[in-house]
């Protein structure tokens, strides 16, 4: 890591040195990382976990959700496929079933004053 010190004034250099010394004392007081890591691994093992389960790697077991609210009427309900009802005249590959959020192409055309009904697909 290199810091360009050439553009700093004497006051800025002094502030930088003071900040660096404070950080140096904080780092010097910390226990070595190997000892902290060993302590964490030991504690995790005592509780029946691995470090990978706690901090990444293997997926952690999911906790059950509390049954505080009633399930919605549509929860788990799968809707069938629906034929498209609207087609973009500029690009016939772009269609919309009428479900969900309006596609960008249709929103853009309707914002210009066109009607959604103008883009209905005519059935033969």
Quote the CA–CA distance of 86 and 80 in Å, as a whole number. Answer: 18
Contact 75, 65 (CB under 8 A): no
Tokens 């070595």 label which residue? 32
Instruction: Measure the CA angle with vertex 34, ends 30 and 40; round to 5°.
Output: 90
Per-residue pLDDT reduced to its tens digit, 53-76: 888 765 545 555 555 666 666 666
Quote the CA–CA distance of 31 and 42 in Å, as a whole number. Answer: 16
Task: Give the pTM.
Answer: 0.38
Instruction: Measure the CA angle with vertex 111, ends 105 and 114; round to 5°.
Output: 85
The proportion of the chain whose per-residue pLDDT surpasses 90, expressed as a percent, equals 47
Instruction: Measure the CA angle with vertex 84, ends 80 and 87; round to 5°.
Output: 160
Per-residue pLDDT reduced to its tens digit, 8-56: 899 999 999 999 999 999 999 999 989 998 999 899 989 898 888 888 7
Per-residue pLDDT reduced to its tens digit, 93-119: 999 999 889 999 999 999 999 999 989
Q: Which two tokens stand for residue 1?
A: 């890591």
Calculate Rg over the CA atoms of the chain: 31
Q: Which residues pair with 50 in a beta bridge?
A: none
């Amino acid at each position: 890591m290199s810091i360009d010190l050439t553009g700093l004034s004497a006051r800025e250099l002094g502030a930088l040195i003071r900040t660096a010394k404070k950080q140096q004392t904080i780092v010097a007081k910390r226990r070595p990382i190997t000892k902290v890591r060993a302590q964490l691994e030991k504690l995790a093992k005592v509780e029946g976990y691995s470090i990978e389960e706690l901090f990444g790697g293997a997926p952690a077991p999911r906790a059950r959700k509390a049954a505080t609210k009633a399930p919605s009427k549509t929860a788990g309900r799968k809707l069938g496929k629906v034929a498209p009802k609207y087609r973009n005249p500029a690009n016939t590959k772009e269609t919309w079933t009428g479900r969900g959020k309006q596609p960008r192409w249709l929103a853009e055309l309707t914002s210009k004053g066109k009607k959604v009904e103008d883009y209905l697909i005519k059935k033969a």
